[in-house]
Homo-oligomer: A and B are copies of this chain.
């Protein structure tokens, strides 16, 4: 057995991955089922000279990681539903000011205080639309610990690449269950470091003037370039402006930098898709039950397949349209009332062939739950 193989909770894997990705700053406020992330980092960050702080609330935590990121540190916070709601205003600030950072939401049963220790995937739409005003954001998820590691590193890479907050949407099952996973060697997964400006001291640095490739080089607070950062609509200097063309340009930039790159950002996995008559679409923990069913049915020769989404936002509609074109029907498996279901219906040619297998009672969806829905669809009754 190699030292790099570990048997951990999903929350602990997220921590290992964040450190692998270069995490240097964490601010948070405890909340079930995300708390282990903070607890582990309170020890592991100082071990590498990084900074951990438990703030007075989730709002402050979100603000703190934005401040820290501006000084050049890779920063993260972790929370769950109620805290995620509280962070929304500050998440919008990070979007508007284009500050790279990672927000982990280990989902629990909602709405409100809901079922704090039960699994749910009820915050998918909120991740996209939770803050006010037009905007766009990247959201990733994972269904097993190896992928939790990969997607967490991905989150930091995408945050730096697109200068945007990235949301990691895990759930209670993934966060708390333990399974085996391998820590990659250093360098095995390439890391995207912050893109620093090449502008020299003394020459004007425009913090919000995109390069040809659309990327925005940064300069650290405390570094040679002094500039302004504001949540108001701002010009290339980062200074407030209410010129219509400036406003229009900024709004388009903020949305297009992500929406125009759906393909670059789309992460997903396919299982037995090619000849599948029925394709299950799932993500996060529920994809485990879905895969269980698919593998069993395949063993029995049935043409089932699974499309597992790892990028939830921007929603990979094209991927779904193209990969599911051949399927007789599609079954979305999720732990909510059909949030991804609606997006899938939008994506495909004929929405009538899209069905839902879900669970909203605080328990985890079982293969049997899925089979029952399959029977119904296949007209075999339950």
Smallest CB separation, A94 vs chain B (Å): 9
Beta-carbon contacts under 8 Å, A241-267 to B:
242, 244-245, 247-248, 251-252, 254-255
Is A112 an interface position by the 8 A CB rule?
yes
B85 and A111 form a contact (CB under 8 A): no
Is A214 an interface position by the 8 A CB rule?
no
A130 and B129 form a contact (CB under 8 A): yes
Is A360 an interface position by the 8 A CB rule?
yes
Contact of A233 (CB < 8 Å), options: B126, B134, B232, B362: B362
Known: A89-B82, A133-B120, A244-B363. A114 touches B336 (CB 8 A): no
Smallest CB separation, A168 vs chain B (Å): 15
Question: Which B-chain residue is minimally distant from A132 (CB atoms)?
Answer: B81
B130 and A111 form a contact (CB under 8 A): no
Question: Which B-chain residue is minimally distant from A346 (CB atoms)?
Answer: B346
A89 and B85 form a contact (CB under 8 A): yes
Q: Which residues of A contact B (CB under 8 A)?
A: 59, 81-82, 84-86, 88-89, 92-93, 95-97, 107, 109-118, 120, 122-123, 125-126, 128-135, 230-233, 242, 244-245, 247-248, 251-252, 254-255, 336-337, 339, 342, 345-346, 360-363
Can you show 24 pairs from A to B with CB atoms below 8 A apart?
A85-B89, A85-B132, A95-B112, A96-B112, A109-B133, A110-B132, A110-B133, A111-B133, A112-B133, A112-B231, A112-B232, A113-B232, A114-B231, A114-B233, A115-B233, A115-B247, A117-B242, A126-B131, A130-B131, A134-B360, A245-B361, A247-B361, A247-B362, A346-B346
Closest A-B pairs by Cβ, 3 of them:
A110-B133, A111-B133, A112-B231
